[in-house]
A and B are shown apart, each in its own frame.
Chain A
Amino acid sequence: MKGEKKRFFQIFLVWTLLFCPVTAFAHVKGGEVIGLISGLKHPISGLDHVLAMIAVGLWGAQLGPPAIWLLPVTLPMVMALGGMLGLMGVPVPSIEIAIAVSAMVLGVMVLIEARPKLWLAVLIVASYAIYHGYAHGTELPPGGNGLLYSIGFVMMTGTLHATGILIGLIHRWLAGRMALRLAGACIAMAGVMFLWRAIL
């Protein structure tokens, strides 16, 4: 009874909270909606970004706690740092190659189920995140609202990461572990392809 009551309450809350912002955002002026929507769309428009983001989630799930929750907390901030550098016009060399390499490296990490020290894992993910933020965080279409674009961008990137973690939860079964490694191999191969394209 007690638990049922609580669930009832939580449904209330979720319902109310969801309802408010949705109705609100649905009616922002045209240009601003474009900002939010393009921010939401942007992270899923490039395969390299999607794959790398999911790879981080998979790897985090393989590593288990504390990495599984430390990475989602730190990653958006580091990525935004990259985006901020990009917006400020700070030059960062050879972005295309770095992104391709990052997809490759992360794919390999998932493939071999690497278990480096926590700080090293965070460092690897962070260095890749800066490049991705730099490349993607700044591409606002003309007429859009920068803040809403940023919110959309951050939200969708986080969702991709969460998707990776959710998929990674199959790690608890043996077959799941194999499947994850296979996925890592695919991502690493895609990374090689991106690198090939970037260099040519």
Chain B
Amino acid sequence: MRCFWLILLTGVFVLATGATAWAHESQPGTLELRQVSNDRYEVTWRAPIYFGQPHPARIELPGHWNTVVEPTMRLLPDSQVFRRIVTVGGQGVEGSIIRFPGLEHTITDIFVRLNRLDGTTMTAVARPSKPYAQLRGERTWSTTAVEYIGLGFHHILQGVDHLLFVLGLLLIVRGRMLLLKTITAFTIAHSITLAIATLGYAHAPLPPLNAAIALSILFLGPEIVRSWRGETSWTIRAPWVVAFLFGLLHGFGFASGLSTTGMPKAELPLALLFFNVGVELGQLVFVFTALSLVRSFKVLGVRWPRLVEALPGYTVGGLGAYWTIQRTVMLLGYLK
């Protein structure tokens, strides 16, 4: 009973401090340039809704491009889509730089794709640390690798829900072998579904997926309390099974961060591979840091008050509960 109230309190606290800003719902934007005739391009700019507001980033086309058909705007549930036709003049689009002023202060990535008449394509990514994209020829595979490893790394470190799930697993697991098994199971499971979703074999609609992910975190809360009390359960004895099953869900979540719109088919497996590598790296950094910190506390002989020791467990349970409620409400709205 006391635990319930604490969870509720934590939930309210989180609600009050606006931790939702960290919830993992940021969608990437896309910009598509389609060549319609020799020097004419159709420009489609899809700006995602950013925390309930129109996205703060603007698009700034190169100065020598002339808009011939004024932009039209279409409002979708999750984004605004601007479409216009431009002429690019004699020098073509090669080397042109498209800027996104305002992107610096957001956490959105923008995928840029260029489709030429001869069937060739080109892609680029603009991100807050580099709020522009240059249209250029083919890239080496190492450029792609670095880009997607970075993307995966960013994605996991910003995805507090995924990290919270890993934290919950760490709190339950006892023993190094079991830890190794659990983390491996989680990794394998989310790699499988990430690949399935990215390659287009299956698709999970975002609202129910988010609710399910939140539920997976909430699920760990009572198990943590159980392990505190020295009780045992199926989850505590075989956490890798839980890690695997819920890992399948989280993989679909990771896939939402790897938008493949505007990516040539040939580049897809490579992008998938390196995005996953980035995710695993971020996850490893998190786990290693956590374990090293615990060992360090022991070496330094730090004695935490009971409340502080219990805090991580209650964070997992409380945030899990809060997100479950919030996302279920969102899901109901979506179903309507």
Contacts and interface: CB of A to CB of B under 8 A. Distances in A.
CB atoms of A and B under 8 A apart anywhere in the complex?
yes
Interface of A: 8-9, 12-13, 15-16, 19
Contacts of B176: 8
B264 to A, nearest CB: 28
B295 A12 contact: yes
B292 A13 contact: yes
B178 to A, nearest CB: 15
Nearest first, the 5 A-B pairs at minimum CB distance are A12-B292, A9-B295, A16-B292, A16-B288, A13-B292
A13 B296 CA distance: 9
16 contacts: A8-B176, A9-B292, A9-B295, A12-B288, A12-B291, A12-B292, A12-B295, A13-B292, A13-B295, A13-B296, A15-B288, A16-B285, A16-B288, A16-B289, A16-B292, A19-B285
Nearest to B295: A9
A13 B300 CA distance: 14
B298 to A, nearest CB: 9
Please report whether the interface of chain A is mostly helix, strand, loop or mixed according to DSSP: helix
Contacts of B291: 12
Contacts of A12: 288, 291-292, 295
Nearest to A17: B292
Contacts of A19: 285
Interface string B171-207: 0000010000000000000000000000000000000
A113 B45 CA distance: 76
Contacts of A16: 285, 288-289, 292
For B176, B295, B296, which residue has the most chain A Cβ atoms within 10 angstroms?
Answer: B295
Contacts of A8: 176
A5 to B, nearest CB: 8
Interface string B254-290: 0000000000000000000000000000000100110
A114 to B, nearest CB: 43
Among A12, A13, A15, A16, residue most surrounded by chain B Cβ atoms (within 10 Å): A12
A19 B289 CA distance: 11
A9 B289 CA distance: 11
A9 B291 CA distance: 8
A13 B298 CA distance: 14
Given A12-B288, A16-B289, 14 more contacts: A8-B176, A9-B292, A9-B295, A12-B291, A12-B292, A12-B295, A13-B292, A13-B295, A13-B296, A15-B288, A16-B285, A16-B288, A16-B292, A19-B285
